[in-house]
Amino acid sequence: MGKQFAVIGLGRFGSNVCKELYQLGHEVLAIDANENIVDRLKHHSSHAVVANATDEAILKSLGLRNFDYAIIAIGEHIQPSILCTLILKEMGIKQVWVKAQNTQHHKVLEKIGADRIIQPEKEMGMRIAHQLDSEKIIDYIELSKEYSIVEVVATAKISNRTLVEVDVRKRFGCTVLAVKRDEQVNISPLPNDFIYEGDILVVMGHKNDIKRFENKGM
């Protein structure tokens, strides 16, 4: 069953979120103050509206309090983003996700109760840096300051061995969540499942432990 999303601010980030959610079959209300931008999203959303996102009366008239999620992706100006977040939280929307422009903006959004704060450039920069740091890393997701999930390519060192033989958990304190092989994904790998060179291991753990596994276990 599809969810209801309001995407406020239709720059590059907001537009892409809007289009993707709509393609996934959800009801998406697209909102921006720029009429030309809204026109471009009419065929990529359920409804596209020209509106001032800091006007509480307008947001209420659009029925936003009935939505499951609101994604605030207002562009360069921090103040409208903060005001819109406050209004939507006071309206009781279950999940308010906000794009932050910088660290200061991030701190303010935390204090006023944003449910998730997104810094696309920072997050993508971190993922790229980790991929550049090690040829074994395919992807990187930060869970917290200390823990992350990475996709690492199995080397010849652990090829033709079972997960229990490699013993990632005991030796390195990490958990193998899944094993990708070609187009197949084993999301519940068993201790006796074999690993082959070129397999992609989805590994979760403390960043230091994952780094040890990369350097010594692979």
pTM over 0.95: no
Based on the domain organization, do 97 and 200 belong to the same domain? Answer: no
Query: Minimal CA–CA distance to 217: which of 188, 181, 187, 174?
Result: 174
Model pLDDT, residue 2: 74
Based on the domain organization, do 84 and 177 belong to the same domain? Answer: no
CATH number of the domain residue 128 falls in: 3.30.70.1450
Based on the domain organization, do 164 and 101 belong to the same domain? Answer: no
Based on the domain organization, do 148 and 97 belong to the same domain? Answer: no
Based on the domain organization, do 16 and 89 belong to the same domain? Answer: yes
Based on the domain organization, do 50 and 132 belong to the same domain? Answer: no
Q: Would you tell me how many other CB atoms lie within 10 Å of the CB of residue 5?
A: 24
Model pLDDT, residue 22: 93
Model pLDDT, residue 7: 96
Based on the domain organization, do 73 and 155 belong to the same domain? Answer: no
Structural domains of the chain, count? 2
- 120-127, long-range: CB < 8 A, 24+ apart: 120/13
Residue 190 is encoded by which pair of tokens? Answer: 């068993």
Domain end marker among 66, 95, 118: 118
Residue 48 is encoded by which pair of tokens? Answer: 């596209």
In angstroms, rounded to a whole number, what is the distance separating the alpha carbons of residues 162 and 196? Answer: 9
Place of tokens 């959610």: 21
SS3 label, residue 52 = coil
Model pLDDT, residue 1: 60
Query: Minimal CA–CA distance to 50: which of 22, 21, 9?
Result: 9
Look up the domain containing 18 and give its range.
Answer: 4-118
CATH number of the domain residue 97 falls in: 3.40.50.720
Based on the domain organization, do 156 and 196 belong to the same domain? Answer: yes
Contact in structure between 62 and 87 (CB atoms under 8 Å): no
Based on the domain organization, do 141 and 99 belong to the same domain? Answer: no
Based on the domain organization, do 75 and 108 belong to the same domain? Answer: yes
Domain end marker among 87, 118, 149: 118
Domain end marker among 92, 118, 144: 118
Based on the domain organization, do 68 and 163 belong to the same domain? Answer: no
Based on the domain organization, do 22 and 92 belong to the same domain? Answer: yes
Model pLDDT, residue 84: 94
Q: What is the pLDDT along the chain (218 residues), one digit of tens a residue?
A: 678 999 999 999 999 999 999 998 999 999 999 999 999 999 999 999 999 999 999 999 999 888 989 999 997 788 999 999 999 999 999 899 999 988 889 899 999 899 999 888 777 777 677 666 666 666 777 778 788 888 888 888 889 999 999 988 889 999 999 999 988 889 888 989 999 999 999 989 898 888 888 887 67
